[in-house]
Amino acid sequence: MAPEPPQFSNKYTMHDYEAAEILLMMSRSGPVNYDLPPAESAPQPRRPGAAKAQQTQMPKVKPEPVRPAISRRTETTTNATTTVTTPAITPVARPKKRKLEEADEDDKVQKVAARLKKRKLKMELAHEVDRLLKAAAKKGKASRRQAYDESNKKASPSEVFARHVKLTLNARSAEKSDYAAFADAVLPDNRPGIDLAQPPLKHAVPEPRRLEDLGDITGLHPREVWLCTQLAITADTYRCQKARFFLGLAIFVEYNYRALKDGEPGFKIWNVGKSQCQLFNNMDVNKSSDLFQAFETWGWVELMGKKDPSTKHWVVSPNYLIRFPEDHRRRLMGEVAAFEAENGGKRLAKVA
């Protein structure tokens, strides 16, 4: 017999009846748990500072490390049992600025290498040209210089004759240190007891470039040894150049003496100075210039001509005429005349 429906009083609403009907239907399908969930509590008013306290109690989040950029493309890896699809990691691209810097460095290296190669070629070319010029100069040195002297209209007779003297001395020996070839030179007194002042030099060689060994200095005055040190020349080179100069000086004394004696019209005495010393010698012209400066400081050279107080005529320095005997001067002049006759060109040597 079916149970009778419950009787409801009028104090219940329609919603109460509907809820009871739902419970009845549920009881027919199985046991019913009549415990209803507790009603939701009403929102409680918040205390001041509650939100801030809640934030401070929240756990700190550990930052995750920055990982390389991952391409959107994926790679599929197949194992023995499963197939795993993972993102494909692309390598980090090299910055464009670094590539440009490396390209600039490579370009600079190539430019430097090209400049070094070009400089090397220039140096090799310069050495080759210098070698060819030296070979040509050695082959036709005397003839070419004489041709220059004779064809140069600006060259004075004094300069041309000085070059003839130089070539005459070179015919004996062109070596810079062969003083034995000029042993007949009449040299000034250079005994150690003589006081020779220190000459002013314009072309002294710096100390690092001076010679450590001057060779045999026997017979040289201490001041002459000092001069060799300052000019960075050996003692033999000094002896050779010194002898060449005083041979040339004796020849010029003879020329001036003959020209004045013969009464050559319009003749002016040819003096001997630094220019003539450079022509007589065959070493560096600057060193020859300082060599003459030393000789002048020591009183070994003077003006070629002087006026006779009584006659008012020019005469060769009496000191030179005494220092260089006449037979010595005439023999040297004859040597120059023989050279001019053999090689052609102007004949300026004066022989009796």
The amino acid that residue 258 corresponds to is R
Q: Within this chain, do residues 269 and 123 fall inside the same structural domain, yes or no?
A: no
The predicted pLDDT at position 104 comes to: 76
Residue 30 vs residues 22, 23, 27: alpha-carbon distances, Å:
13, 11, 5
How far is Cα 179 from Cα 237, in angstroms, rounded to an integer?
7
Q: Within this chain, do residues 235 and 298 fall inside the same structural domain, yes or no?
A: yes
Q: Is residue 5 part of a domain?
A: no
How far is Cα 226 from Cα 238, in angstroms, rounded to an integer?
11
Could you list the pLDDT tens digit for every one of the 352 residues in the chain?
555 655 555 556 666 767 777 777 776 665 545 555 554 555 555 565 555 555 555 666 666 666 655 555 555 555 555 555 555 566 555 566 666 777 777 788 888 888 888 888 878 778 777 777 777 666 655 444 444 445 656 788 999 999 999 999 999 999 999 999 999 999 999 999 999 999 999 999 998 889 999 999 999 999 999 999 999 999 999 999 999 999 999 999 999 999 999 988 888 999 999 999 999 999 999 999 999 999 999 999 999 998 888 888 889 999 999 999 999 999 999 999 999 999 877 888 888 7
Domain's final residue, options 119, 149, 179: 149
Cβ neighbour number for residue 324 with a 10 Å cutoff:
22
Q: Within this chain, do residues 135 and 175 fall inside the same structural domain, yes or no?
A: no
Q: Is residue 82 part of a domain?
A: no
The predicted pLDDT at position 19 comes to: 75
Q: Within this chain, do residues 216 and 167 fall inside the same structural domain, yes or no?
A: yes
Domain's final residue, options 99, 127, 149: 149
- Tally the domains of the chain: 2
The predicted pLDDT at position 85 comes to: 58
Q: Within this chain, do residues 303 and 267 fall inside the same structural domain, yes or no?
A: yes
The predicted pLDDT at position 142 comes to: 47
The predicted pLDDT at position 10 comes to: 56
Specify which residues 83 forms β-bridges with. 78
The predicted pLDDT at position 299 comes to: 96
The answer to whether the CB of 187 falls within 8 A of the CB of 242 is: yes
How far is Cα 168 from Cα 331, in angstroms, rounded to an integer?
13
- List the domain range (segments joined by +) for residue 119: 110-149
Q: Within this chain, do residues 298 and 163 fall inside the same structural domain, yes or no?
A: yes
The answer to whether the CB of 164 falls within 8 A of the CB of 349 is: yes
